[in-house]
């Protein structure tokens, strides 16, 4: 998830990968607009879900917009461990 103020991106996207200079994965994002308070604080909340990641690996990503080619700095996260199914 990420937020922009004011509304900014019409084709929001996340690019990701295991190497910072090779962000070849791509996931389109969705968004909801918000408008809060009497001073008119408004913007968008963007959401994207990346699936099929290798467990416990570092992934690099950037968020932004394909239409304007405007992107964040590259950041990273560590993927969660493999989920173990419990037997009944």
Over range 29-37, report the average pLDDT. Answer: 86
In a domain, 62, yes or no: yes
Which residue range forms the structural domain that includes residue 12? 2-78
| Cis geometry, peptide bond prior to residue 60 (ω within 30 degrees of 0) | no
- Model confidence at 6: pLDDT above 80: no
DSSP for 37-75, please give it: TTTTEEEEEEE----SPPTT-EEEEEEEETTTTEEPPPE
Q: What pLDDT does 77 receive? A: 97
Total number of domains in the chain: 1
In a domain, 16, yes or no: yes
In a domain, 83, yes or no: no
Select the more confidently predicted residue: 88 or 8: 8
In a domain, 27, yes or no: yes
C-alpha span between 53 and 76 (Å, rounded): 13
In a domain, 86, yes or no: no
In a domain, 64, yes or no: yes
């Amino acid at each position: 998830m990420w937020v922009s103020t004011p509304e900014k991106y019409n084709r929001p996207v996340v690019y990701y990968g295991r190497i910072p200079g090779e962000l070849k994965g791509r996931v389109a994002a969705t968004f909801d607009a918000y408008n809060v308070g009497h001073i008119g604080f408004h913007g968008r909340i963007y959401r994207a879900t990346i699936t099929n990641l290798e467990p416990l690996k570092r992934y690099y990503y950037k968020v932004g917009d394909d239409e304007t080619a405007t992107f964040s700095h590259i950041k990273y996260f560590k993927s969660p461990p493999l989920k173990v199914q419990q037997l009944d």
